[in-house]
Amino acid sequence: MLTQIFTTALAPIIWGTTYYLTTEFLPPNQPFLASAIRCLPAGLVLLFFFREKVDAITKKRLFILSILNIALFQSMLFISAYTLPGGVASLITSLQPAIIIFLAFIFKGETIESRKKFMLITAFIGMCCIFLTPQTQLNTIGVIAAFIGALSMSFGTFFSREWSTKINIFAFTGYQLTFGGIVLLFISPFFDIYPDTVELKNIYGYGYLVVFGAIISYSLWFNGITSLPLGIVTPLGFLSPVTAITLGWLALDQSMSLVQGFGILLVLVSLYGLVLSAKNKIKINAQQENQ
């Protein structure tokens, strides 16, 4: 299980680099095109090697998931990345664990322990310490986009687990990336401003997003969703904003205050507590079933 937790955690870590890639390597003002270029080639590659036939119901579900996990989430992610500091966008996106837990309560009647509530609140306080500084500037459109993206990915994560099928995880990922990429490609001309030229760094940025930001990360994430408890998977999303600010500190020479460092510590401690709590609960349930 530890190996699977680690590999699943790589997905939000990779996603945390999106904000840096967007500002430093991609042309401006094209969130939908950037999302389509990220997802569609990756989906086609996965389906070329791992394509499986699916029935009509499964295909409809995969299309819905592609809107939630890919088309809507990716477009909102890039809009927020273009209009907000990476940390602020990550702060709003970090609401996902709480939203998913709320969905589990609404649809399945699952309750959350007081300890988990405390850990989630502590993690969010840590996020606020990291990103809400006096220099923080907010953009209304960016904030709304980030919140819509958090809602979309939360619903997508929840229903990905509920609708998980027996098809290969790479095909499961490939269908969603392809469907979502097609939708994004269709929407792009209505909203994006295309650049006159494409620089070499843009090609590097898109290449990274296709291979790491889509094929590898989404395959790892969907595999974790379908095989690990939500109580373990969802808190891993906190690693994305921690990655965003750490990368900004290392690569962009951004300063990090003691308060921000303390916030990172709070997030990591809370994440460890949430994962450990979920693991212990699984062990207790397994022991009770064996008795």
- pLDDT tens column, 83-97: 776 567 767 777 787
pLDDT band at 42 (very low <50, low <70, confident <90, very high): very high
The predicted structure's pLDDT at residue 63: 95
The predicted structure's pLDDT at residue 73: 87
- pLDDT tens column, 172-188: 999 999 999 999 999 89
* HEC profile of the chain: CHHHHHHHHHHHHHHCCHHHHHHHHCCCCCHHHHHHHHHHHHHHHHHHHHCCCCCHHHHHHHHHHHHHHHHHHHHHHHHHHHHCCHHHHHHHHCCHHHHHHHHHHHHHCCCCCHHHHHHHHHHHHHHHHHHCCCCCCCCHHHHHHHHHHHHHHHHHHHHHHHCCCCCCHHHHHHHHHHHHHHHHHHHHHHHCCCCCCCCHHHHHHHHHHHHHHHHHHHHHHHHHHHHCCHHHHHHHHHHHHHHHHHHHHHHCCCCCCHHHHHHHHHHHHHHHHHHHHHHHHHHHHHHHHHC
- pLDDT tens column, 231-280: 778 788 888 878 877 887 777 666 677 888 888 888 888 888 877 776 66
pLDDT band at 68 (very low <50, low <70, confident <90, very high): very high
pLDDT band at 65 (very low <50, low <70, confident <90, very high): very high
